[in-house]
Amino acid sequence: MGKLFVEQKLHLWDPLDKYLPEDLGLRQADGTPIELVHLATHTSGMPEMPSNFDDLHPEDYSQEDLYEYLESYQPENVGESYSYSNVAFGALGDALAICQGDGRGLEQIIREDIIEALDLAMFYEPFNTDQEERMAQGYRCIKTTLEVVLLAKKSLDFYLQAWFYWRRGQSGKSSSATPRFSGCHGRSCWAERQHP
């Protein structure tokens, strides 16, 4: 999104229906549009998950399914409060791919324009058999729980590898390049930095 903004291909306040089909009705009853910034900041008023999503078969959810859900969805409380939404991020991803305008899907754009361009392929590879065999088994044996565990493990692996990769690059630089962590945590620390 930032790249497209810098390239002046989109504006943060563009209405979502500028990119997705207008007949999806992505405006409140009073005409207030859902804007890209609402999707990116989870203030679109959209729910966490679409009602037509099957937890047992997430891989089967398609763009057509998303559009079918959005067509029946009536936006409310747009821009009023924060509420995490996978629906919003799905719609945003689709809008960004359309905005890019070269026919590539979001996954291909991420792979080519970010992962490969920044030489981050080692962080994007799927699990190999050895890694899968060493996975801790959860107590609940349903697919969605295992997927959550795998996603959490993959995220942790990514951040640890990225940090070590970054540290290697800092080895010849002064110690001032190493991030310093204060004793504060979470929102209170953020508030102290914003309002000393």
Q: In CATH, what number is assigned to the domain containing residue 12?
A: 3.40.710.10
Q: Taking every pair of C-alpha atoms in the chain, what is the biggest distance, in angstroms? A: 59
Question: How much is the pLDDT for 106?
Answer: 80
The pLDDT assigned to 60 comes to: 86
Query: What was the pLDDT predicted at 103?
Result: 83
Question: Cα(75)–Cα(46) distance, rounded to whole angstroms?
Answer: 7
Structure tokens at 111: 């792979």
Q: Determine the pLDDT at residue 145.
A: 58
Answering whether pTM is above 0.85, one says no
Q: Are residues 84 and 136 part of one domain?
A: no
81/134 same-domain check: no
> What residue type is 81 in one-letter code?
S
Looking at the structure, tell me whether residues 11 and 83 fall in a common domain: yes
80's tokens: 């009023």
Q: Is residue 80 part of a domain?
A: yes
pLDDT at position 21 is: 85
Query: For residue 102, which amino acid is it?
Result: D
- With a cut of 50, list the residues of the chain below it in pLDDT: 174-196
Please give the sequence-ordered ranges of beta strands (E in DSSP) within 59-166, or none if there are none: none
Question: Nearest CA to 87 among 24, 149, 3, 10?
Answer: 24
Indicate whether 167 and 73 sit together in one domain.
no
Residues 28 and 111 in one domain: yes
SS3 content of the chain, % helix, strand, coil (to 5): 55, 0, 45
Residues 81 and 144 in one domain: no
What domain range is 157 assigned to? 123-171
Q: What is the pLDDT of residue 139?
A: 58
Query: Same domain, yes or no, for 89 and 110?
Result: yes
In this prediction, residue 27 carries a pLDDT of 86
Residues 6 and 69 in one domain: yes
Does residue 57 share a domain with residue 136?
Answer: no
Residue 167 has a pLDDT of 67
Q: What is the pLDDT of residue 190?
A: 37
pLDDT of residue 182: 39
